[in-house]
Amino acid sequence: MNLHTFAATSIGANLEPKSIEVEPNGTTDIVIKVTHCGICHSDLHMIDNDWGMSNYPLVPGHEVVGEVVELGSQIKHLKKGQRVGVGWQRSACLQCDDCLNGNENLCDENQSTIGNGYGGFADHLIIDGRFAFALPDGVESKHAGPLMCGGITVYSALRHAGMTSGQRIGVIGIGGLGHMAVKFASQLGNEVVAFTTSADKFDEAASYGASEAVNVKEENAFEKLQRKPLDIIISTVPASIDANAYVNLLASDGTLTFVGVPEKPLEIELFPLLMKRRRIMASPIGGRGIMRDMLKVCDTHGVRPVIEEFAMKDVNTAMKKVRDGSVRYRAVLKN
Ligand SMILES: NC(=O)c1ccc[n+]([C@@H]2O[C@H](COP(=O)([O-])OP(=O)(O)OC[C@H]3O[C@@H](n4cnc5c(N)ncnc54)[C@H](OP(=O)(O)O)[C@@H]3O)[C@@H](O)[C@H]2O)c1
Ligand SMILES: [Zn+2]
Ligand SMILES: [Zn+2]
């Protein structure tokens, strides 16, 4: 079939309309008619080949929502006409220990929606049907896209860092991922501190549930926090941060978890970790089980991303806003 996509044909290029001929495999693949697609900062990293794993033409888009229009013979849990969402992952081996333990996102053979195929900036997406998720009726399509990568990434990272309720949780970077982390943590009954480089985000962070906001650019910004330690801090920033300063804000047994990847390797002082048995970890997206759990939590607790909508044809305008950090808080393309 002919996919009508918006593709980058070289590193860092603007997206241009491109027809691509590709066929579903007839067994495990499904075809989705794309209605909406969120834009994640990882789409930018991939267009720019920041991680050295991009193939061109590259069709970005891994927060995809649409309607199933064709099903492979082995896909029985979905039906034609059903509304589904797809995230970063397009497939996995489904037979290794990680896959069998429900951690398909950790599988050595996991494939990405935009690195190992063509993504959702298109009229149709072809994907392994086992990595398409039925969406709760209560979650509108325009909101579902950003949950499929941004949402699951912060939800899974926070859960695996031990988030329950009644804790004190810090969120570094109030962008696409960060604003959803504030919402998940606060809706699930935690006290949230937002760490931002943008003082003009204070009020919005408060409206998403943060009880305190810290302008990290201010001198001595962390001083007043030191007496009220945080159980978990999540960094969603795609740049280097002062990790040692954040470690010192953690309670004993507290965890600093990374989902945004700093540009440079971390230089960590060990004693502040050791003396309080603190941990540092990092977390990629989420497996299929926790994805279903997250969608349920969004449905029952009303967690929704704050979005700016753009027509698919205006993808470069939207991309520019993602690049300059002016989107509040997730751009969503609409066909
Ligand atoms: N681990 C995973 O599986 C996974 C999944 C999805 C995305 N990611 C990664 O997570 C990161 C965040 O993605 P996103 O879509 O949330 O990005 P985003 O919407 O651009 O938000 C990033 C936020 O980080 C803060 N920031 C501080 N310094 C920055 C700098 N030098 N450049 C850009 N932002 C800066 C800004 O918040 P303030 O204004 O509040 O400071 C900004 O809004 C990206 O690196 C992305 O690739 C990881
Ligand atoms: Zn993403
Ligand atoms: Zn596997």
Q: What is the pLDDT of residues 33-56, one digit of tens each?
A: 999 999 999 999 999 999 999 999
Ligand lying nearest the CA atom of residue 102: 3
Q: Which residues have CB under 8 Å from 294's CB, separation 6+?
A: 147, 151, 152, 155, 156, 286
Ligand lying nearest the CA atom of residue 179: 1
For the CA of 42, the nearest atom of ligand 1: 47
Q: How high is the pLDDT of residue 227?
A: 80
Is 288 within a domain?
no
Q: Is the pLDDT of residue 226 over 80?
A: no
Whether 123 and 208 map to the same domain: the answer is no
Whether 19 and 91 map to the same domain: the answer is yes
Distance 257 CA to ligand 1 centre (A): 14
Whether 228 and 314 map to the same domain: the answer is no
Ligand 1 contacts (CB < 6 A) are 40-42, 45, 149-150, 153, 173-178, 196-198, 201, 236-239, 259-261, 283-285, 325
CA angle 172, 50, 154 (to 5 degrees): 30
**Cα dist from 272 to 103, 227, 247, 264, 277, whole Å:** 31, 15, 7, 21, 8
Whether 50 and 136 map to the same domain: the answer is yes
Distance from C-alpha of 111 to C-alpha of 126, rounded to nearest angstrom: 13
Distance 75 CA to ligand 1 centre (A): 35
Distance 265 CA to ligand 3 centre (A): 28
What is the percent of the chain where pLDDT is above 90? 96
Average pLDDT, the chain: 97
Q: Is the pLDDT of residue 26 over 90?
A: yes
Distance 31 CA to ligand 1 centre (A): 30
Question: Best substitution site from 39, 40, 43 to test ligand 1's pocket, by max atoms within 8 Å of Cβ?
Answer: 40
What's the domain range around 270? Answer: 162-282
Q: How high is the pLDDT of residue 224?
A: 78
Q: What is the pLDDT of residues 170-225, one digit of tens each?
A: 999 999 999 999 999 999 999 999 999 999 999 999 999 999 999 999 999 998 78
What is the percent of the chain where pLDDT is above 70? 100
Whether 140 and 23 map to the same domain: the answer is yes
Q: Which residues have CB under 8 Å from 242's CB, separation 6+?
A: none
Residue 329: cis peptide before it, omega within 30 degrees of 0: yes
Whether 166 and 113 map to the same domain: the answer is no
Is 292 within a domain?
no
CATH number at residue 324: 3.90.180.10
The total domain count for the chain is 2
Q: What residues pair up with 64 in beta bridges, in sequence order?
A: 37, 86
Q: How high is the pLDDT of residue 328?
A: 96
Q: What is the pLDDT of residues 165-181, one digit of tens each?
A: 999 999 999 999 999 99
Q: What residues pair up with 19 in beta bridges, in sequence order?
A: 4
Cα radius of gyration rounded to whole Å, the chain: 20
Distance from C-alpha of 140 to C-alpha of 144, rounded to nearest angstrom: 6
Question: 11 phi and psi, to 5 degrees?
Answer: -55, 125
Distance from C-alpha of 12 to C-alpha of 25, rounded to nearest angstrom: 31
Is 51 within a domain?
yes
CATH number at residue 182: 3.40.50.720
3-state secondary structure 166-230: CCEEEEECCCHHHHHHHHHHHHCCCEEEEEECCHHHHHHHHHCCEEEEEECCCCCCCHHHCCCCE
Whether 21 and 140 map to the same domain: the answer is yes
Whether 223 and 167 map to the same domain: the answer is yes
Whether 276 and 328 map to the same domain: the answer is no
For the CA of 177, the nearest atom of ligand 1: 16
Taking residues 309-331, report their average pLDDT.
98
Whether 316 and 273 map to the same domain: the answer is no
Q: How high is the pLDDT of residue 7?
A: 98
Question: Best substitution site from 259, 263, 319, 326 to test ligand 1's pocket, by max atoms within 8 Å of Cβ?
Answer: 259
Q: Which residues have CB under 8 Å from 173's CB, separation 6+?
A: 195, 196, 197, 235, 236, 237, 238, 260
Element spanning 310, H or E: strand 307-311
Is 297 within a domain?
no
Whether 109 and 171 map to the same domain: the answer is no
Q: How high is the pLDDT of residue 263?
A: 81
Tokens, residue 192: 């949230």
